[in-house]
Structure 1
Amino acid sequence: MIRTLLALNGALIRGALAFVLTTQEDIEVVAEVDRAEDIGAAMRMQRPDVAVADVKFFGAGALANGIAPSEPPPVLVLVDPRRPRVLGNALRLHCQRLGFLGSDVAPERVIEAVRRLACGGSVVDADLVVAALSRDHPLTEREVEVLEIAAEGWPVVEIASKLSLSAGTVRNHLSRIVGKTGARTRIEAIRIARERGWI
């Protein structure tokens, strides 16, 4: 039996995938979480063989910090195909036990990927990876991290704390981001970056 953890935003999507997976005789969903900070505890408690996670949990290294076990299971990362460049955050973890699929794939492909990862195989959507590695936007890696956290609604002080930066440095990053995106405000910069797949 392949013990599987789901780390996905949205109860409807998570529940639907859980239902699909549990219809398989060889797959059991042992935990469901919707916050990156809950992943480590769920993994320590349930010891899944495979995790399926939204790429958003990799923002600013969130999943890397959330996984506490010394031997974390392989993770199938689901990526919005309209925003493949956010996959870069996951790729920068240099983890050998990650698989990547578009979040719009047929359920059968997720089932196949879970089985493949559980057996030590690899899962890579080549188109996603190529798009993620082609950097044709003006933001630096640090600016992307700052903007991703800002997009979650955190104030400057919290962004600074999460990234171990000073509040002044975060303000400077945000100011440069606004300028580089051609926006007038931080909110507009977030919208532009999302539309163009930069975050």
Structure 2
Amino acid sequence: MVRVLLAEDMRLVRGALRALLAEAGDIEVVAETGHGDRIVPTALAHRPDVAVLDVDLPGADGIAGTAALRDVLPGCRVLILTAHRRVEVLRAALAAGAAGFMPKDAPPERLADAIRRVAAGGSAIDPDLAARALTAPASPLTAREAQALALAADGCEPREIARRLHLSAGTVRNYLAAAQLKLDARTRLDAVRIAREAGWLPHPEV
């Protein structure tokens, strides 16, 4: 029997997932939470084989929850379930340690199969999104330029970005200007749009 933790803040969705998995016969939902900050303590209390985490959770999001589980409970494998069909979200999930990544609009029967594969030590990545990630062009941005642009995308001003990255405000402005130039963007917002659509912005929690 595969023991599963569900982390989903919408109760109706969580209930539907629980009912769906109950029909599988070999999967048992042993714990649930609707808050990202409860992922780790709930997992430690119930020791699931697989944690099915939504990306958008109050508190710590699913990506941060994945990274935390990787550190404190490495035997619990993670399957991300999300409404986002964006390459950068997939890359952030994989970087955080997720073994599976499925969109919420996938056929219901695929969820149980994905959980089994992840529990068995394999991976379960949405094939269309995986193909996009593999064929996407390499980012022209350096790691620092991408970090600065990602924080700018979150609405941070250069001084705040500088504080978070432990850099000077002038250095941050140079990174942002370089990113805008490399992406042939008219404005900083345009640079954010181009980088986000290409999947070149890191997730702020990773």
Alpha-carbon spacing, 1:119–1:150, altered in 2? closer, same or farther (3 Å)? same
State the distance in 1 between where 2:77 and 2:142 align. Answer: 28
Q: Which 5+ residue runs of structure 2 have no aligned equivalent?
A: 202-206
Indicate whether 1:5 and 2:5 are aligned: yes
Q: Which 5+ residue runs of structure 1 have no aligned equivalent?
A: none
The answer (yes or no) to whether the contact 2:44–2:73 under 8 Å persists in 1 is no
State the distance in 2 between where 1:12 and 1:158 align. Answer: 38
Residues paired across the two proteins, number? 192
The answer (yes or no) to whether the contact 2:30–2:46 under 8 Å persists in 1 is no
The answer (yes or no) to whether the contact 2:149–2:176 under 8 Å persists in 1 is yes
Structure 2 equivalent of residue 113 of structure 1: 114
Structure 1 equivalent of residue 204 of structure 2: none
The answer (yes or no) to whether the contact 1:18–1:29 under 8 Å persists in 2 is no
Structure 2 equivalent of residue 176 of structure 1: 178
TM-score of the superposition, structure 1-length normalised? Answer: 0.67
State the distance in 1 between where 2:176 and 2:7 align. Answer: 29
The answer (yes or no) to whether the contact 1:84–1:197 under 8 Å persists in 2 is yes
Structure 1 equivalent of residue 39 of structure 2: 39
Find the structure with the greater CA-based Rg.
2
- Equivalent residue letter for 1:71: P
Q: CA deviation at 1:48?
A: 1.9
Structure 1 equivalent of residue 141 of structure 2: 139
Q: CA deviation at 1:50?
A: 0.4
- Give the SS at the match of 1:77: strand
Alignment of 1:85-124 (within 5 A): 85-92=88-95, 95=97, 98-124=99-125
The answer (yes or no) to whether the contact 1:77–1:101 under 8 Å persists in 2 is yes
Across the aligned residues of Structure 1 and Structure 2, the Cα RMSD in angstroms comes to 3.7
State the distance in 2 between where 1:161 and 1:43 align. Answer: 33
Q: Deviation string for 1:50-101 (max 9, x for gaps)?
A: 0123467576xx34642242434111134667422432233345x5x71233
- Give the SS at the match of 1:44: helix
State the distance in 1 between where 2:29 and 2:99 align. Answer: 20
Structure 2 equivalent of residue 73 of structure 1: 76
Alpha-carbon spacing, 1:6–1:156, altered in 2? closer, same or farther (3 Å)? farther
TM-score of the superposition, structure 2-length normalised? Answer: 0.66
The answer (yes or no) to whether the contact 1:7–1:34 under 8 Å persists in 2 is yes
Q: Deviation string for 1:163-190 (max 9, x for gaps)?
A: x43253444433333442614244x443
